[in-house]
Homo-oligomer: A and B are copies of this chain.
């Protein structure tokens, strides 16, 4: 596993297993001069934290973050920022049952085959718990972005068959309901649907949508690090994500050029505008300066109470009965993870944008 870092100039390295002593993240390349305290980070961690609603696992982790390095008197110093979150709820007792079985939909089999050794406790490194470290780093990235006028907003677009109605889109609602849906009615229907799943011992998937506002034109490094390509990598690296699409996305494949091209118009006192945003705000892999929008598909939580067929480590067919209580849906808790991965990526490429022109370089160094 040598893929625990992401980012070229703003580099985020996570470490830690679900049931190890702690999880953490090192941020290298955070510029000096940014005010930063634990509270800045904690508020995003709290959004991801389990055990807060009937729709997530009751595992109770406080997820208190500690800044171990990289700040002096509340200001970043330009040196690496090390953040740590201790694991308190490390009950290993529950895992004897799965120590020798490959859970369907989980990474048990692939990790075991790849490494020849498998820390089965709570999914080890493959646990969703690892994303807490991403969220912590994302909070730092978001603070940088906010200073540069960039805002990221993610929310639950759909859960199972229940989709929000764009007409009733209400940003405030995202933070008010535990499913992070920007439409109160959709939230209520989705909550009902989740209750049904819980009763059956089943789980559901969903879609997260993310909007970026305020990002200037010119971000993204063709030809291999196009902005959509690197955002795609960042989002697809979140466990459970099975697809990503920008703007009209898969829908674009079924349209014609005259339908899908976004005409540009210049309007006095308003500047350049786009009548449509089929591109999702990125063309040629470079941000247009217009809002960016993408969607990520999350598969249903693989841990379900229903009985499942699978095999043991020594290839005996068996039936798995996980019992216990599991997240019936991962999507709401993943919203802030999507924001985090987006922020981490944007900081890196917004920084690189400076280096693409002699005039910007001269301005910075003058």
* A229 proximity list for chain B (CB < 8 A): 232-234, 236-237
Stretch at the interface among A2-10, A41-49, A55-63, A180-188: A2-10
**Residue in B closest to A259 when the chains form the complex, CB atoms:** B300
For this chain, the copies found in one complex come to 4
Asked whether A4 and B32 contact (CB < 8 A) given A116-B357, A245-B242, A288-B110, the answer is no
Verify A13–B5 contact, CB threshold 8 A. yes
What residues of B have a CB within 8 angstroms of the CB of A96 in the complex?
A: none
Chain A residue total in the interface (Cβ 8 A): 164
How many angstroms between the C-alpha atoms of A76 and B356 in the bound complex? Answer: 10
B residues near A173, Cβ cutoff 8 Å: none
Is A217 an interface residue, CB under 8 A from the partner?
yes
Q: Mark A250-265, 1 if CB is under 8 A from B, else 0.
A: 1111111111111111
Question: How distant is A39 from chain B, measured CB to nearest CB, in Å?
Answer: 17
A311 to B203, CA, bound (A): 49
Nearest CB of chain B from residue A130's CB, rounded to whole Å:
6
The answer to whether the Cβ of A105 comes within 8 Å of any Cβ in the partner chain is yes
Q: What is the distance, in angstroms, from A90's C-beta to the closest C-beta of chain B?
A: 12
Q: If the complex has contacts A72-B119, A221-B1, are A260 and B300 also in contact, measured as CB distance less than 8 A?
A: yes
> Which residues of B are found within 8 Å of A29, using beta-carbon distances?
1-2, 355
Residues of B within 8 A of A352 (CB): 2, 9
Query: Which of B224, B260, B298 meets A6, CB within 8 Å?
Result: B224
A365 touches B356 (CB 8 A): no
Contact: A117 with B263, CB < 8 Å? no
Decide if B263 touches A308 in the complex (CB within 8 Å). yes
Known pairs A68-B24, A205-B255; A250 contacts B78 (CB<8 A): no
Q: Please, what's the 1-or-0 string for A219-237, where 1 marks a CB less than 8 Å from any CB in chain B? A: 1111111101110111011
What residue in chain B is nearest A12 (Cβ atoms)? B224
**In the bound complex, do residue B357 and residue A32 qualify as a contact, i.e. CB atoms below 8 Å apart?**
yes
A116: B residues at CB distance < 8 A: 32-33, 357, 359
Q: Which residue of B lies closest to A81 (CB)?
A: B15
A54 sits at the interface (CB 8 A): no
Contact: A111 with B245, CB < 8 Å?
no
Kindly list 13 other residue pairs between chains A and B, CB separation below 8 angstroms, not including A109-B283, A242-B246. Answer: A15-B69, A24-B82, A31-B358, A33-B115, A78-B357, A105-B261, A116-B357, A126-B284, A204-B256, A205-B255, A233-B236, A236-B244, A361-B364
Residue contacts A-B, CB under 8 angstroms, 29 given: A1-B223, A2-B29, A2-B225, A4-B26, A4-B28, A9-B9, A9-B352, A14-B224, A15-B79, A21-B66, A26-B26, A102-B264, A106-B283, A107-B222, A107-B286, A110-B220, A110-B283, A113-B217, A148-B362, A160-B256, A203-B256, A232-B244, A243-B246, A243-B252, A256-B304, A258-B304, A260-B299, A263-B308, A361-B364
